[in-house]
Structure 1
Amino acid sequence: MNRRHFTLSLSSVAALTIAGWLPTARAQAWPDKPVRFVLSQPAGSGPDNVARLLSDRLAKTWAQPVVIDNKPGGQNITGALVAARAPADGSSFYFATTAALVTNPLLFKTLPYDPQKDFVPVAFVAKSPFAILVEASSPIRTMEDLIARSKAEPGKLTLGNEGPRTFSGMIARLFNARSGAQANLVSYSSVGVGSQDLMGKHIDAMVADLASTAALAKQGRMRVLATTSAKRVAGWEQVPALAELLPGFDMVGWFAVVAPKGTPQPVITRANRDISSLLADREVADRIAAIGPIAEPGLSVDQVAAFLAGEHTRWAAITKEIGVLPE
C-alpha cells in the first residue's frame, strides 16, 4: 500500500468513526433544545394536569423548556398522529393514554398511525382509576342500590359516559354485562359536559376518570360509589373497588410516555431515568394523587414494553366480551 492509499484509508476510517460518533455525542448532550410533550387531551384535563406538573420539574432537571402541546380531538388520533410524525431526535415525546396506544387499534379498522410500529416506549407514568359517581344528594348510596334500581326498571336508570367507543363507555358496557344491570348508557362529548348534567340531576350516574372528577367529589358535589380498579385506590380507601362486588373487574386507565420510532436509545434511557426519579419523589407523587392518578415509578423501558404488550392482549379479550368490533 503506497502512502497515498494509506492516507486515504486513514481518512475513510476517520470519517466513518466521526459519522458513527456524532449521533451518540448528540444523544449524550441531550437535551440541547426545548422538549415537547404532545397530548391528545385539552388543557385542564387530567392527563394535561399531570403532564404539566412533570414538565415543570423536568425543565429544571434538563435545563431546557418542556412545552406541552395539546392536540385534542378525533378520539386521540389527532395527537397521536402529530407525535408519530415528529422528528425522532429527542425533541418530541407523546404523553399517551390507554386509548391512544392500546384500544384505538381494536376500535378502528384503519388508523393513520400504528402504536406498535410508530412509537417506542420511554416511561410509565401513572395509573388513572375510573369511578362510578352519582350526584351528592342522590338516593343511590351504593353500587348494590344502583344495580337493583336498574333491574327494577330496565332501561330507565341513566349512566353517563363519553361514548361507546371510549374508555368510560366500554367500562359502562362491561359493568352492564358483568353485573346484569340494565342501565341506559348516555353518551357525552366530554367528562365536563356529563358532570354538569349529573350535578343538574339530568342523569342518575356517570362513569368518569377520577382525575377529572376528584375535585368535584372532594367539594361534596358528587359522590363516588366505587372505583373500577381491582383494589381500593390510595387516597380513596373509603370507596369500595368494583371488584369487591364483581370479582376480576379491573378497568384502569394509565399514562405512559413514548417517543417516535428512531429516537436515540441514550435519550430514551435518560428520559426513563429522569421521569422515574421524579415520580419516586413523594411530593410529586402526592401532587399527582391529588389530581387523581396514582404514580408508578421504577419501570424500565423493557418493563414498559412488556406492560403495553400485555395490555394489547387483555383489551382484545375485553372488546370481544362486550361485542365491540372495529369500524
Structure 2
Amino acid sequence: MNFCIHGGLRRALASLAPAAAAGLLACTSLPASAEDLADYPSRPVRFIVPYATGGLPDTVARIVGQRLTESTGKSFVVENKPGANGVVAAQAMMGSPHDGYTFLVTDGSMMSINPSIYKDLSYEPNRDFMPVSLVATSPLFIAARPDFPANTLQEFVELAKKDGSRITYGSSGVGSSHHLTMEAMRSALDLRLDHVPFRGSGQAVPALVGKQVDLVVAALPSLSGFAQKGQAKILATNSLKRSALAPDVPAISEVIPDFNFAVTVGVLAPSGTPPQIVQKISDAVAKAVRQPEVVKQLQGLGIEPVGGSPAAYRQAIDEETRRYVGAIKAAGI
C-alpha cells in the first residue's frame, strides 16, 4: 500500500524539526496487503527503457508489455528515456514512487558494464534496483568475411594464435557486449586481434560485407541475410550453449569452458518496491514469455525467452558482472 500525508496533519508536521518532517512527509512504500495485491495493477504501469525505440530492450519491453496489458486489463506503457549511459532512465525510475507502477527494462550493460567503466554514475545497481525477472537473452555471433582463411571456430582460433597474425574485428563500440566478447576471448586464448569500433551494428556489419574488417560480432538477424547470400560466414556464438536460433553454429564455450556473453534483458524495480508486487510481475512476465506465439515472435528477432525469478535474475546479474569485470580489464578500458 502506498500512502502520503495530507491536509491538517501536513501543516502540523511543518512545526517539527526539518529532518523529521521531511522523513514523515515523504511518500512511503509499505508492503502490499492481500487486498492491494488482488487489485494490482489498478492503473497503468510504466516500463522505462534507457534507449531509443527499435533496440533490443525496447523490442522486448513492447512485446512483453502488450502481453501484460492483455492479461491484466491495464496498460503497460513503454517510455524511452535514452541518454547519459542509462542515467536518465535510472533517475526517472528512482524518482518515481516505489509502488510497483514504474519498472526499468534494460540490457545487462546498465548493471554489469557501466559501473566498471563510468566512475561517476549517479546510480548503484545493488543499492537502487531490485531484480524482477530475466526476461530474455540475445546471443551474439562472430561472422567472417567470405574469403577469410578460417571456416570454423577452431580454424579461426588456430589462425589467430599464430605469431604475426593480425586479425581485425568490428564491434558496436568500445565497452559494448560485442567488444567485450572478443576481448574476453582474446585474453583467454592469447589471440592476435585488433579492434575496430563502429557506432552500432548498422555500421559494423556493412564494414564486414565491404571487407573493411575480417570479423564482426553482431546479432543473428543482422547477419543471417548476408550469410545466406554468401557474403559472410558465421563461425561461433557467445552464449553458454549452442543457440536454438542456430544449432549448427558452435558456442565459444566449446573452446573456453563456461564462456557466456550473450546479451541479457531484464525487468528491474526501484529498491523499496513491495516484494509481493515484484513477485507478481515476475510471475506474469514468465507466463507471458512462455506463450508459444511469444516464443516464436522473440526467436524470429534473434531473442531467446527466459522468464526467470527475482532470485535467479539476481544470480545472473552477479555472474554477468564478474565476467564483464574480467573482460573490461582485458580490454584495458
- TM bucket by the smaller chain? 0.7 to 0.9
User: Does the CA-based 8 Å contact 1:98-1:255 persist in structure 2?
Assistant: yes
- C-alpha separation in 2, matches of 1:280 and 1:223: 31
The change in CA–CA distance for 1:245 and 1:313 in structure 2 (over 3 A counts) is closer
Structure 1 residues 75-154: aligned runs within 5 Å: 75-135=85-145, 140-151=150-161, 154=164
Q: Which moved more, 1:27-36 or 1:270-279?
A: 27-36
User: Does the CA-based 8 Å contact 2:29-2:273 persist in structure 1?
Assistant: no
The one-letter amino acid of 2:213's match is I
User: Does the CA-based 8 Å contact 2:289-2:295 persist in structure 1?
Assistant: yes
> Are positions 1:195 and 2:208 aligned together?
no
Aligned match of 1:182 in 189, 192, 204? 192
**How far apart are residue 42 of structure 1 and its match?**
2.6
Aligned match of 2:253 in 243, 246, 261? 243
- C-alpha separation in 2, matches of 1:247 and 1:208: 21
- C-alpha separation in 1, matches of 2:154 and 2:77: 45
Q: Equivalent residue for 2:316?
A: 307
The change in CA–CA distance for 1:270 and 1:312 in structure 2 (over 3 A counts) is same
- C-alpha separation in 1, matches of 2:129 and 2:312: 15
Q: Equivalent residue for 1:167?
A: 177
**How far apart are residue 254 of structure 1 and its match?**
1.0
Q: So what's the TM-score if we normalise by structure 2?
A: 0.80
- C-alpha separation in 2, matches of 1:211 and 1:105: 29
Structure 1 residues 1-327: aligned runs within 5 Å: 24=33, 25-135=35-145, 140-151=150-161, 154=164, 156-210=166-220, 213=223, 217=227, 222-297=232-307, 299-320=308-329, 322=330, 324=332
The one-letter amino acid of 2:141's match is A
- C-alpha separation in 1, matches of 2:82 and 2:229: 27
Task: Report Cα offsets for 1:238-289 as digits up to 9, x if no partner.
Answer: 1011122333322222111111122222321211111111122222122212
Q: Which moved more, 1:223-232 or 1:132-141?
A: 132-141
Q: Equivalent residue for 1:7?
A: none
Task: Report Cα offsets for 1:268-325 as digits up to 9, x if no partner.
Answer: 121111111112222212221221121113x3323322333333344444444x1646
- C-alpha separation in 1, matches of 2:98 and 2:240: 37
SS in 1 for 2:139: strand
User: Does the CA-based 8 Å contact 2:49-2:78 persist in structure 1?
Assistant: yes
**How far apart are residue 86 of structure 1 and its match?**
3.0
Which consecutive residues of structure 1, in runs of 5 or more, have no partner in the other structure?
A: 1-18
The one-letter amino acid of 1:93's match is F
User: Does the CA-based 8 Å contact 2:29-2:99 persist in structure 1?
Assistant: no
Identity %: 27
SS in 1 for 2:268: strand
- C-alpha separation in 2, matches of 1:278 and 1:154: 51
User: Does the CA-based 8 Å contact 2:175-2:328 persist in structure 1?
Assistant: no
- C-alpha separation in 2, matches of 1:244 and 1:117: 36
User: Does the CA-based 8 Å contact 1:35-1:92 persist in structure 2?
Assistant: yes
User: Does the CA-based 8 Å contact 2:29-2:274 persist in structure 1?
Assistant: no
**Paired residue total:** 305
- C-alpha separation in 1, matches of 2:244 and 2:131: 26
The one-letter amino acid of 1:42's match is A
Task: Report Cα offsets for 1:5-60 as digits up to 9, x if no partner.
Answer: xxxxxxxxxxxxxx999953444422222222111233222222222211111111
